Amino acid sequence: MITYLGLFAGLIILVFAGDLLVRGAVGLAERLGIPALIIGLTIVAFGTSAPELVISMKAAATGAAGLAIGNVVGSNIANILLVLGAPSLIFATVCSGPGTRRNALFMVTVTLGFIALASDGFLGRLDALVMLSLLGVFLYDNYRSARRHRKQAQDALEDEFGDIGTKPPWILTGFLLVGLVGLPIGANLTIFGATEIARSWGVSETAIGLTVVAIGTSLPELMATVMAAFHRQSAVAIGNVIGSNIFNLLAIMGTTAAVFPLPVPQEMFVPDMWIMLLTSLCLLPFIFLSKSITRPIGVIMVLLYVGYVVSALHPHGF
């Protein structure tokens, strides 16, 4: 029971600490006069990926490479099937927006590239350099795109964070510190709980990373897209998911491999890496034909994700 409580407490702390970290950093940046465009592309983008980054870094540092990589691969699968599928049960998810087609193609290219880099069974510092270089290309391209749509970038930031910049500096600093302290605490609890549960269930750490931990670290994206669906703003969901998947592979795996080069468990290729690629490819028809993800399709996506989770755990004795 303590192990299960540790896992779920760790995931909850990660979600809230990540949110406070972003809000504190955004508020302080606004008070320092940093443009909303830069805030959106850096602080918000990196901050919302903080739970996955801390989990992967901590797992790699403790030798749990399967958990480190499984967390990212599983999150990318969950982002498409669950995070896009679940809101579609409420209202259809619009698959359009500035730069969506270009970023979707980049996501598929990055996914293929990541599989190629991992195919030799090891992610080293040279691989990390490739991933971080591609991240730089992605950020620069989005900077240029955001400059062309500066007003939309400003409005999106205000919708998400409201008047956070008007709060007193001591409150914003408190948010930042709680986030910085909370993330490693949450990561430690999550890693402890996940590895112990893996042993007690007789499953691998990779399987737990692909499922339980991946769902937990995808909760912020899931909650955001569900709330967007309720407010009839589901068009933002597709951009958030594509951006999150690119960040997961390039920023999180790139940073983790740069600090802790790690082996890639062969079980990741049977079949999880390919499922990650397949789910990414399945988005392209909706995006390029400007078709919405309707309720029946959302039901299929959620059921496919449930089936994936069961199949990821069942062969290992769950």
Longest dimension (CA), the chain: 55
Q: What is the reported pTM?
A: 0.82
How many domains are there within the chain?
A: 1
Of residues 181 and 315, which shows the higher confidence score? 181
Distance of CA 240 to the CA centre of its chain: 9
Give me the pLDDT at residue 153, please: 56
* DSSP-derived 3-state class of residue 17: helix
Q: Which tokens sit at 147?
A: 């400059």
* DSSP-derived 3-state class of residue 75: helix
Burial 254-283 (b: 16+ CB within 10 A, else e): bbbbbebbbebbebbeeebbebbbebbeeb
Give me the pLDDT at residue 202, please: 81
- Confidence at 160, pLDDT banded by 50, 70, 90: low
Does residue 168 register a pLDDT over 70?
yes
- Confidence at 318, pLDDT banded by 50, 70, 90: very low
Give me the pLDDT at residue 250, please: 95
Tell me how far CA of residue 90 lies from CA of 85, 155, 233, in angstroms: 10, 24, 12
Give me the pLDDT at residue 249, please: 94
Beta-bridge partner residues of 262? 123
Output the CA torsion sign for 117, 120, 121, 127. negative
Between CA 146 and CA 86 the distance in angstroms is 28
Mean pLDDT of 145-155: 63
The percentage of the chain sitting over the pLDDT mark of 90, rounded to a whole number, equals: 32
CA dihedral defined by 203, 79, 4, 57, rounded to 10 degrees? 80
* DSSP-derived 3-state class of residue 93: strand
The model's pLDDT over 215-253, given as tens digits with 9 standing for 90+, comes to 877 777 777 677 667 766 666 678 778 888 998 999 999
What CATH code is carried by the domain that includes residue 86? Answer: 1.20.1420.30
- Confidence at 317, pLDDT banded by 50, 70, 90: very low
**CB 58: neighbour CB atoms within 10 A?**
22
- Confidence at 316, pLDDT banded by 50, 70, 90: very low
The model's pLDDT over 15-70, given as tens digits with 9 standing for 90+, comes to 788 778 777 877 777 776 666 555 655 666 666 677 788 889 988 998 888 889 99
The percentage of the chain sitting over the pLDDT mark of 70, rounded to a whole number, equals: 83
**CB 138: neighbour CB atoms within 10 A?**
21
Of residues 165 and 312, which shows the higher confidence score? 312
Burial level of 318, CB count in 10 A (0-12/13-18/19+)?
Answer: middle
Q: Which domain holds residue 78?
A: 2-316
Least confident of 35-39, 183-187, 255-259: 35-39
* DSSP-derived 3-state class of residue 122: strand
* DSSP-derived 3-state class of residue 271: coil
Least confident of 11-15, 122-126, 254-258, 302-306: 11-15
